[in-house]
Structure 1
């Protein structure tokens, strides 16, 4: 009748068929998830394109000009006067002294030495 090797081979074939079915089912589930994600990505890209179009429509200079004219009294907006801006020549000059420059650089003023007070580990020391 059946020998032991026949029974073992039948068991191996059945388990291989079951394993193949399981792997195929898992692959189909993964493919379904990938398709859902691709559909979501496509939907999000369409939404982003729509929002960009809305943004460009809302920020058109002509539209903003109309809104500023409409709500000028409520917002207290006034046109910019060109004389509000000042040039570099109208800014006051703050003179720096040598003592201030020396104090900023970390040197000791008045010690008669041309070396820094801060030790940096350079070769020339």
Structure 2
């Protein structure tokens, strides 16, 4: 009887050790995955910084004026006229949708929104 109990405890220890080893390996795998995702995030942030710098360089007024001067015959751009400027009151009013919207955080009704004038 004692041999059976000892054998049972030995099997439990081996199964427990295997379970702990499996948890350790999965944790290491997840740690590597997190590190890889953090590297990707840093690369994306660096790319965003590069694109913002490039956008800023491309939007320099002196560079844009050079492009306009170079391609003026093709673009046929004209200076902004005073008749092209308008007020907010002159813009057409967008109709308000009064239909219930599913997943709306305001209770499902767009009609609860304040009227736009």
| TM-score normalized with structure 2 length | 0.65
User: Runs in 1 of length 4+ with deviation above 3 angstroms?
Assistant: none
The residue number in structure 1 matching 2:48 is 48
**Of the two structures, which has the highest relative contact order with CA contacts closer than 8 Å and spacing of 6 or more?**
2
Shift of 1:78: 2.9
Give me the whole-angstrom Cα distance separating, in 1, the residues matched to 2:38 and 2:29: 14
Offset from partner CA, 1:4-38 (integer Å, 9 cap, x none)? 11111111111110100000000001111111111
SS of the residue 2:77 aligns to: coil
Give me the whole-angstrom Cα distance separating, in 2, the residues matched to 1:78 and 1:58: 21
Shift of 1:57: 0.5
Q: Which runs of 5+ in 2 are unaligned?
A: 87-117
Q: Which runs of 5+ in 1 are unaligned?
A: 89-125
Give me the whole-angstrom Cα distance separating, in 1, the residues matched to 2:47 and 2:18: 44
| TM-score normalized with structure 1 length | 0.61
Shift of 1:54: 0.4
Shift of 1:61: 1.0
Change (3 A) 1:66 1:13: same
Residues 46-55 or 62-71, more deviating? 62-71
Shift of 1:87: 9.1
Q: How does 1:3-22 map to 2 (within 5 A)?
A: 3-22=3-22
Determine which structure has more spread, i.e. the larger CA radius of gyration: 1
SS of the residue 1:3 aligns to: helix
Matched, 1:85 2:49: no
